[in-house]
Each structure stands twice: as C-alpha cells, then as structure tokens.
C-alpha cells in the first residue's frame, strides 16, 4: 500500500489517498477541496476510486465530496453520529467560508466496525470531541491511524464549534488512541505526521 496526500482548501487540510499498488484501487480520506484537481490526478495516475471516507463533517474536510462522488460514482462513508453535522451548514460551519455546504453519507459506520476495501483492512474508532461524530480510521495491518482533527502533532483539534467538547476529546484520545502501540504512525487532518508514542510524551493538551 502507498499513501499519498494533498494539502487543500482555505485552511490547509490534508486529503489522503490509500493506494493498493497491485490493483490501483484507491480510498480517498477527507477530500477537502478542488474535486476537479483530485479527479484529474486520479485519472492521470490510472487509479480506481472505491470510496470516500470522512473523519468528520466540517466544511474543510468535505468540500470535494460531491464533485468526486459524481465523477466516479463512489459511496461516502462517515461515522453514524456525524450525519447531522454533515447535513447542517450551521454545524459544519460552512457559512464561515461564505457558502452553505451539505453532504449526506451513503453508509454510516459503527464504533469498532471493521471493513476491507481495495484489499485494505480498516477499523473505525469513535472519537467524539472535535465534533460529536468524529471518527479515526485505523489500519491494524499497517499500524497507521488517520486521526482527522482529533489528534495533531503535539496538539489536538479545537472544540469550540457546534457539538464540540474538550472533555470528550481528551477522553477519546486517552482511551481510544493512546492504547495503541507507540510505533503506530498518525496521519492528521492538518500538519505533519506523528506517532502515538511521540504524542504520549510530547502532547501538552492530553493530561
């Protein structure tokens, strides 16, 4: 498996591409913006998109969803507690951008649900706090975690938007993420990659 990324949109959001090197299938995580640009790159690389995975519903993670869903006729997966945030512009704070964005998921995922797409096995962790329905996607065979805006390098996601909770966020990190092995690599929604071990000892926001 190869991981590629693009930094997109008004707040420099990480969009990830999980590529099966043998089949050229690709899973798209958080298409933040520029659906046309993403589509063009995917076609140039000869990749076959299978799904769009959303860690949460804030506008800066979903701006490219509809364009890609239409271009490739692929489903959108999100945590089952995030449906309202995805649909409600007030909750996904898209009016901050001067737009009203609303997205629906084709499949709502359950906590600890495990599924395999493009030969990539993935587990869903409910990690409320940044939003009520935030999830992280964990690849146990690869020891890689896509943390959305729950956990950053030496930081955490903000909790002052609708449905946010600092208490829930810290609790989710401690009980769902910090129980993973130290060598698990973390791919966050903004900024650089990190590891669980580094965050356990260097993150001042988790106490």
Is 167 in a helix, a strand, or coil? helix
* Burial group, residue 152, by CB count within 10 angstroms (0-12, 13-18, 19+): buried
Q: What percent of the chain has pLDDT over 90?
A: 98
Give yes or no for residue 99 having a pLDDT over 90: no
pLDDT score of 97:
83
Q: Which two tokens stand for residue 5?
A: 């990324």
Element (H, E) at 138: strand 135-139
Task: For residue 107, name the pLDDT band (cuts at 50, 70, 90).
Answer: very high
Residues in the chain: 207
Task: For residue 207, name the pLDDT band (cuts at 50, 70, 90).
Answer: confident
C-alpha 88, offset from chain centre:
18
pLDDT score of 63:
97
Under 8 Å between Cβ of 196 and 184:
yes
pLDDT score of 195:
98
Give yes or no for residue 96 having a pLDDT over 90: no
99 or 90, higher pLDDT: 90
Task: For residue 172, name the pLDDT band (cuts at 50, 70, 90).
Answer: very high
What is the tens place of the pLDDT at every residue in 8-64? Answer: 999 999 999 999 999 999 999 999 999 999 999 999 999 999 999 999 999 999 999
> Which class is 2-202 in CATH?
alpha beta
Report pTM.
0.97
Q: What percent of the chain has pLDDT over 70?
A: 100
Mean pLDDT rounded to a whole number for the chain: 97
Give yes or no for residue 184 having a pLDDT over 90: yes
Task: For residue 147, name the pLDDT band (cuts at 50, 70, 90).
Answer: very high
Under 8 Å between Cβ of 145 and 138:
yes
Task: For residue 130, name the pLDDT band (cuts at 50, 70, 90).
Answer: very high
Domain ranges within the chain, ordered by starting residue: 2-202
Task: For residue 134, name the pLDDT band (cuts at 50, 70, 90).
Answer: very high
First to last CA, the chain: 34
């Amino acid at each position: 498996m190869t991981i590629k990324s693009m930094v997109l949109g008004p707040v420099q959001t990480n969009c990830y591409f999980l590529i099966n090197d043998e089949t050229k299938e690709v899973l798209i995580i958080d298409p933040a913006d520029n659906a046309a640009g993403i589509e063009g790159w995917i076609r140039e690389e000869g990749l076959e998109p299978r799904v769009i995975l959303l860690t949460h519903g804030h506008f800066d993670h979903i701006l490219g969803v509809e364009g890609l869903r239409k271009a490739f006729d692929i489903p959108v997966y999100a945590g089952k507690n995030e449906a309202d945030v995805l649909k409600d512009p007030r909750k996904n704070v898209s009016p901050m951008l001067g737009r009203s964005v609303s997205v629906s998921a084709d499949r709502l995922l359950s906590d600890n649900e495990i599924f395999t797409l493009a030969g990539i096995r993935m587990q869903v962790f409910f990690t409320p706090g940044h939003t009520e329905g935030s999830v992280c996607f964990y690849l146990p065979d690869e020891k890689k975690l896509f943390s959305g805006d729950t956990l950053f390098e030496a930081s955490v996601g903000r909790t002052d938007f609708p449905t946010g909770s600092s208490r829930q966020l810290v609790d989710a990190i401690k009980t769902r993420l910090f129980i993973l092995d130290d060598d698990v690599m973390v791919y966050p929604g903004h900024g650089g990659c990190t590891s669980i071990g580094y965050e356990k000892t260097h993150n001042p926001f988790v106490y």
